[in-house]
């Protein structure tokens, strides 16, 4: 009886919206999972910087601010949401363009958060970007091959609507589930096993990018007409990337705010 199911209204909105990264729901899912896995020290630092806001709320902030007309948001920060990794190659920092990319931005904002002289405003900006960038790096088309703008130029139809593959992975596959971000995050969190938390808690972003580029090879369809079969085929992969992103946001912040590492860096 699949043909009787109605697509949510929000799904229709993605076809006119610019493709940024995981859509708002995807980023909030990763932030909510991360919130549940923070260490005591990391949670305290996050609370100092964000106050009553949580990581689910702040995970979308760098995308929300892209409507700001300031040059920082329209030009400077624009390349910080993705990396380019050519087919058959690994990411190398030397390949980053002069304007930077998600990996160079992650390094920059990590340095800011560790800098005792940095202002609270600068650290708050850095934290919000770190949470967002880690989510971005787990979306396979944010590690694009450099030939189709991360799937933006790969035209498809999604349940009869014209769009592109990037939008399908940003929002279409997630919104097709008709779950709120909190419902989705709760479902995913309950399926994460302790062994997976241990295995995934690697704060090395090169590992995340390598996974995304490996997955990228498998998601380009031979037939550009996408609907239930494509959604079913890639559901497990989408859920896996969201779960790993959430665990790794927490792992990265736990590592970054580890008091032993922080104190050692100040000596």
Convert the pLDDT of each residue in 178-223 to its tens digit: 999 999 999 999 999 999 999 999 889 999 999 999 999 999 999 9
Three-state SS at 205:
helix
Question: Of 77, 81, 25, 80, which is closest to residue 56 (Cα–Cα)?
Answer: 25
- pLDDT above 90 as % of the chain: 82
Asked, for residue 75, whether it belongs to a domain, the answer is: yes
What is the CATH classification number for the domain harbouring 238?
A: 1.10.575.10
User: Token pair of 131, please?
Assistant: 């949470």
Q: Domain for residue 191, yes or no?
A: yes
Distance of CA 241 to CAs 8, 22, 162, 192, 233, Å?
23, 11, 25, 12, 14
The Cα 16–Cα 21 span in angstroms is 15
Contact at 8 Å (CB) between 133 and 256?
no
CB atoms within 10 A of CB 233: 13
Structural domain including 42 reads 8-80+89-266
* pLDDT tens digits for range 121-134: 999 999 999 999 99
Cβ atoms of residues 168 and 226 within 8 Å:
yes
Distances from the Cα of 150 to the Cα of 29, 133, 251, angstroms: 22, 15, 27
Please give the span between the terminal C-alpha atoms of the chain, in angstroms, as a whole number: 65
Per the structure, the count of domains in the chain is 1
Q: In angstroms, rounded to a whole number, what is the distance separating the alpha carbons of residues 60 and 83?
A: 19
Under 8 Å between Cβ of 138 and 123: no
Helix, strand, coil share of the chain (percent; to 5): 65, 5, 30
Confidence of residue 20 (pLDDT cuts 50, 70, 90): low
On whether residue 103 sits in a domain, the answer given is yes
Residue 222 lies in a domain: yes
In a domain, 1, yes or no: no
Query: Distance between alpha carbon 246 and the CA centroid of its chain, in Å?
Result: 9
Secondary structure (DSSP) of 178-202: ---HHHHHHHHHHH--HHHHHHH--
For the entire predicted model, the pTM comes to 0.89
Contact 19, 154 (CB under 8 A): no
In a domain, 134, yes or no: yes
Task: Supply the pLDDT for residue 101.
Answer: 95
Angle ∠(88,92,98) on CA atoms, nearest 5: 120
> What region does 114 belong to: left with phi over 0, alpha with psi -120 to 50, or beta?
alpha
Q: What pLDDT digit, counting tens, does each position of 73-119 carry?
A: 999 999 999 999 998 888 988 889 999 999 999 999 999 999 999 99
pLDDT of residue 259: 85
Task: Tell me the pairing of strands 155-158 and 161-164.
Answer: antiparallel
Choose among 139, 132, 131, 133: nearest CA to 239.
139
């Amino acid at each position: 009886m699949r043909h009787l199911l109605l697509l949510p209204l929000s799904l229709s909105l993605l076809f006119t919206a610019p493709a940024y990264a995981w859509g708002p729901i995807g980023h909030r899912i990763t932030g909510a999972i991360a919130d549940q896995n923070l260490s005591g020290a990391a949670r305290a630092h996050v609370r100092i910087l964000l106050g009553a806001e949580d990581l689910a709320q702040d995970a979308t902030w760098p995308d929300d601010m892209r409507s700001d007309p300031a040059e920082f948001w329209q030009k400077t920060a624009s390349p910080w949401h993705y990396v380019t990794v050519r087919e058959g190659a690994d990411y190398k920092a030397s390949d980053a363009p002069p304007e930077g990319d998600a990996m160079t931005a992650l390094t920059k904002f990590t340095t800011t958060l560790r800098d005792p002289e940095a202002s609270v405003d600068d650290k708050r900006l850095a934290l919000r970007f770190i949470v967002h960038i880690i989510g971005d790096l787990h979306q396979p088309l944010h590690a694009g091959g450099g030939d189709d703008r991360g799937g933006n130029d790969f035209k498809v139809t999604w349940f009869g609507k014209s769009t592109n593959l990037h939008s399908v992975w940003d929002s279409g596959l997630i919104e097709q589930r008709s779950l709120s971000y909190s419902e989705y995050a709760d479902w995913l969190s309950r399926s994460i096993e302790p062994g997976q938390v241990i295995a995934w808690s690697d704060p090395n972003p090169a590992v995340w990018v390598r996974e995304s580029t490996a997955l990228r090879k498998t998601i380009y369809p031979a037939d550009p007409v996408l609907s239930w079969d494509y959604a079913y085929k890639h559901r497990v992969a989408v859920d896996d990337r969201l779960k790993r992103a959430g665990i790794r946001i927490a792992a990265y912040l736990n590592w970054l705010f580890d008091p032993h590492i922080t104190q050692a860096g100040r000596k």
